[in-house]
Chains A and B, each alone.
Chain A
Amino acid sequence: MSLSDTLLHCMTEFTPFNALIGGLLIGSSATLLLWLNGRIAGVTGMITGLLVKPAPEQAWRLLFLLGLVAGTAAYSLWGAATPLRQGFPVWLLVVAGLLTGYGTAQANGCTSGHGVCGLARLSLRSLVATGTFLGVAVLTTFVVRHLAGLAP
């Protein structure tokens, strides 16, 4: 299978209701963590914290990530199934993952830390970060799907 075949994307419907409720749940999660623990619900901070912090400061970070996995597992058991993408090249997943991990560690945040919590705190740094990664991601998707002729 060629790259152009594997990158052909599946259409998805606009799901405003589920999107909004999902967003409100994510906002509630961020609010809970700040209200109870005084912490920012940023997944990048959890990952880098687990890499560099001493053991006593790792537990809550690990538990948040375990909760994230458990919540998703619970939804897959009792909610709707998430469709699995087929045939996406593994090397592209690895390259994308490395760029994502390196970049988010360098910028100290990703979609959750900068995008949700940072914007909610009216942080200018987070606004710049969010504008940058959103803009570059839109551009990257455009190049892959349209300029490179990989999509219809």
Chain B
Amino acid sequence: MSKTTLRNLAALGSGVVFGLGLSLAQMTNPDKVLNFLDISGRWDPSLLLVLGGAVVLSALAFRLVFKRGAPLWDSLFHMPLPKAIDRPLIVGSALFGIGWGLSGYCPGPAIASLGFGNPEALWVVPSIIAGAALQRWTHFRQTADID
């Protein structure tokens, strides 16, 4: 198999595992997400353990992976360009925070929710794509940010 095919299979498999994780953790339930964000309500701290578990495992595993010097099926790590903490980062994250706090959907769980035919996903996902497209069309220069 060519490296390209292997990479495509790896991406597919990695996506499947991501979807299983989100589902098992019930992050596909927007009420569960909002009950985490609502710290003054009947707080459901589950999301903290989801994020904590994911970050701690990744942090440990990433160290080992980076020690290899290169990924298994590609010649280099495609890392985001090192950039300053700038206004778009803060403003964009704040806008995202409003959207997340209103609906309970961040992009991953929104797209994942198509998998069990959640009717809300049929509105949220196209809106997220439209919002992202609008941002890219109005900021052509940022296209260079993605490797």
Contact = CB atoms under 8 A, between A and B. Distances in A.
A26 B93 contact: no
Of A92, A106, A144, the most chain B CB neighbours within 10 A belong to A106
A22 B48 CA distance: 11
Nearest to A79: B23
A29 B18 contact: yes
B136 to A, nearest CB: 5
Interface in A81-113: 81-85, 88, 90, 92-112
Interface string A30-71: 111111111111011101110111000001110111111111
Contact of B24 (A79, A110, A125, A136): A79
A72 B115 CA distance: 5
A122 B112 CA distance: 27
A73 B98 contact: no
A1 interface: no
Interface string B36-75: 0111111011111111111111110110010010111110
A137 B37 contact: yes
Contacts of B101: 136-141, 144
A71 B28 CA distance: 12
A26 B73 CA distance: 21
B18 to A, nearest CB: 4
Contacts of B29: 12, 82-83, 85
B101 to A, nearest CB: 3
Interface of B: 4, 6-32, 34-35, 37-42, 44-59, 61-62, 65, 68, 70-74, 76-80, 83-85, 88-103, 105-108, 110-116, 118-120, 123-136, 139, 142-143, 145-146
Interface of A: 9-16, 18-41, 43-45, 47-49, 51-53, 59-61, 63-76, 79, 81-85, 88, 90, 92-112, 114-117, 119-125, 128-130, 132-142, 144-146, 151
Given A19-B49, A71-B112, A132-B89, 8 more contacts: A14-B44, A30-B62, A43-B107, A51-B136, A82-B26, A97-B105, A108-B145, A112-B107
12 contacts: A9-B34, A21-B21, A30-B14, A40-B80, A64-B11, A82-B29, A92-B103, A95-B102, A105-B92, A106-B95, A125-B85, A137-B101
